[in-house]
A and B are shown apart, each in its own frame.
Chain A
């Protein structure tokens, strides 16, 4: 064999038998393997929900008393008194999902290089694009939807328990249900998760994924230092803080985007502005940045070796 030949004949890939497999299958299994590896993705929010339910059971006996004193309050206060626990629940589960998203994203393309398993993943017929998109889908799609489902189930259980306690005490559940308007509020939560967590935060998660594909060590520092350096540089060089304001707006959901993404906590009948949200340049600029960051992450993953 191998006498180095002087000419390379035209080679085609025709000798390779076609292997039928739907293109979505590798993506599906890539997402699935993320869930197998990072069980905190669902265990984190679930644990928070469990703790909340446990706490709720303890304050539940106070509910009949609250209901009896409710008539002395004006309608806005009435809702506050009843909905407080539900708002806290939604907020905490969403917060847990957000924190899990950050930790997940910063480790997603770094951990596989650190434990050398990238060599195994790369021995499989899965492209770098599929892998990066599967990893990006965790903070961008899976976690927001998971937060929604867990919140909906938790709040439904809370409402059910409350109703049982009220009925057992001979009280009507009508005020509770009408004040909470649980399902309208849940729809608003979904709207908020889609607009703020999926779309508005997209460049933020994409940046974390990029850094996790690039860093040789301490990805967290690398994620934070460049923005910090730019902020300080701007402060010293131009005595301004546009960059910091920009980041702050992005992370806080955007001061002007607040009503568009559904400000938290929600009130039934709150004004939502999906049209204005979709028309805001900030959204599309952010998504363009997210796309660029992800494209860079794909290229980096192709080049990177185990560390």
Chain B
């Protein structure tokens, strides 16, 4: 059974279309990065998956309809939807009491063990904690829940780099195993690209790229072209070109019949593109296409 399966997922707010017929399938045990510009529909897609907004089309999460069965679904799904959603008035110990009270899969000892590694005191109220500590507390709660799907929507927004690194390290080392699925959105793409198994670009409510990291490696190649070979490289129709350290960096989509790895290696230094560069390339191409279609 796939963890998430959607067909023709659509959501409009008034005349603004946030999701425009999205088809997607996420298998269990994947770590999917959902990447897109602001207002692309990332959060709407996640909210639909979490049963927070109604939608049109078919959607099944762990076999359930999220909109009508949110409470049941939340036994197997956890989410951190923003960093600042823990109620500010609650005491750390009370927050643990509450989750232990309502959540059948919460392992309090696990949460306590995680908190023991931080500076968070049980008697503190959330409003007295720093932003980073609140994120740690939320992560401690979430990691102590034996869920099958974890959804993180900008979980590290506004945190400094140390906390961000710690956050993903904890997630990978102490939480992730092959049976769980994680979906994460963030603007700090570079920080998570080594964590991901899959990546999905979304723009204007549509999925524009959807593949595993292995596929990214085999499909895309970035070439720092030798100055004298720029013209030859351009003739191969790169999908994107940028300047780096005074040299042209061209991004190619490999196609067995047209462009091969060996061909490109002859033009300069080749490497697998970073997700951020790939993202920029795909988005600018998209914008170009839309403009081309309009004119």
Contact = CB atoms under 8 A, between A and B. Distances in A.
Interface of A: 1-5, 8, 11-16, 19-21, 25-26, 28-30, 32-33, 36-37, 112, 115-120, 122-128, 130, 302-303, 305-306
Nearest to B94: A36
Contacts of B259: none
Contact of B98 (A29, A115, A306): A29
Contacts of B193: none
Interface of A is mostly: loop
A16 B70 contact: no
Given A1-B198, A128-B71, 6 more contacts: A11-B60, A16-B62, A36-B91, A120-B87, A125-B73, A125-B74
Contacts of A4: 7, 23-25
B256 interface: no
Interface string B243-270: 0000000000000000000000000000
B247 to A, nearest CB: 35
Interface string B198-218: 101000000000101000000
A121 to B, nearest CB: 8
Contact of B104 (A19, A30, A37, A306): A19
A135 to B, nearest CB: 14
Which residue of B51, B88, B98 has the most chain A CB atoms within 10 A of its CB atom? B98
Interface stretch (B75-83, B167-175, B224-232, B286-294): B75-83
B58 A125 contact: no
Contacts of B98: 29, 32-33, 36
Contact of A5 (B25, B64, B73, B89): B25
Interface in B81-104: 81-82, 84-91, 94, 98-99, 101-104
A32 B91 CA distance: 13
Contacts of B277: none
B63 A16 contact: yes
B213 to A, nearest CB: 11
B126 to A, nearest CB: 9
Contacts of B79: 119, 123
A118 B54 CA distance: 17
A8 B8 CA distance: 11
A30 B99 CA distance: 10
B30 to A, nearest CB: 6
A11 B70 CA distance: 17
B33 to A, nearest CB: 13
B74 A305 contact: no
A123 to B, nearest CB: 5
A301 to B, nearest CB: 11
A21 B100 CA distance: 11
Contact of A13 (B58, B63, B86, B105): B63
